[in-house]
Amino acid sequence: MPESIISLHDKQFAPYLPYEQLTDAIRILAARLNEDYAGKQPLFVAVLNGSFMFAADLMKRLSIPCEVAFIRVASYEGTGSTGKVREVLGLQEDVKGRHLVLLEDIVDTGHTIRYLLDMLSSRGAASVEVACLLIKPECLQHELNIRYASISIPNEFVVGYGLDYDGLGRNYPDVYKAL
């Protein structure tokens, strides 16, 4: 087996998106956010668990006054979305009148983002936008207006850079795809 292939549970994964490509995309995203949110003191809401590396690398490149909070939802079991989104760790911050940016590692069916957009808008946020590192446009099942989508990928199951396969794989700096 080539050294670069990783095995997680019953699957093997090959290198797909190197860390440098991810951080290049994040640098471009940060520049857009620095411009669009100047003077708005946005609250970035990182969707756990998958977005912890993305959120950390993005926040380090933001130079505007801003806050970060975390929310945890779950919808995936193994390599497929269950379609039902559960809030596992709620948002403590008052979002009324705030400009929010949801930070999501990957948008697949869009169930998670749809649920969060509806939930946060109903709590009186002034605006809610989505910034995602990866998006699988072929898999989207909702009409979502995602303003900040960094890297589009085909319908592949990927791990690494925060993304997991049943709990494993989050620790790798690069993104790998299932073989």
- Nearest approach, Cβ of residue 178 and ligand IMP (Å): 8
d(CA 101, CA 108): 18
| Bridge partners, 4 (sequence order) | none
119 binds ligand IMP, rule: CB under 6 A: no
| 42 vs 50 by CB, closer to ligand IMP | 50
Nearest to 49 by CA among 179, 175, 168: 168
104 binds ligand IMP, rule: CB under 6 A: yes
Residue 4, class by beta-carbon neighbours within 10 Å (0-12 exposed, 13-18 middle, 19+ buried)? exposed
- Nearest approach, Cβ of residue 35 and ligand IMP (Å): 26
94 catalytic, yes or no?
no
- Nearest approach, Cβ of residue 75 and ligand IMP (Å): 5
22 binds ligand IMP, rule: CB under 6 A: no
Specify the pairing of strand 80-89 against strand 67-77: antiparallel
> Which two tokens mark 34?
């620095």
- Nearest approach, Cβ of residue 116 and ligand IMP (Å): 9
Under DSSP, is residue 1 helix (H, G, I), strand (E, B) or coil? coil
Got the DSSP string for 35-64?
HHTTTT--EEEEEETTTHHHHHHHHTT--S
8 binds ligand IMP, rule: CB under 6 A: no
The interface mask with ligand IMP, positions 81-100, x = CB under 6 A, is x-------------------
Q: Which of 24, 105, 108, 118 is an active site residue?
A: 108
102 binds ligand IMP, rule: CB under 6 A: no
57 binds ligand IMP, rule: CB under 6 A: no
d(CA 92, CA 9): 35
| 65 vs 80 by CB, closer to ligand IMP | 80
d(CA 120, CA 92): 12
Catalytic residues: 108
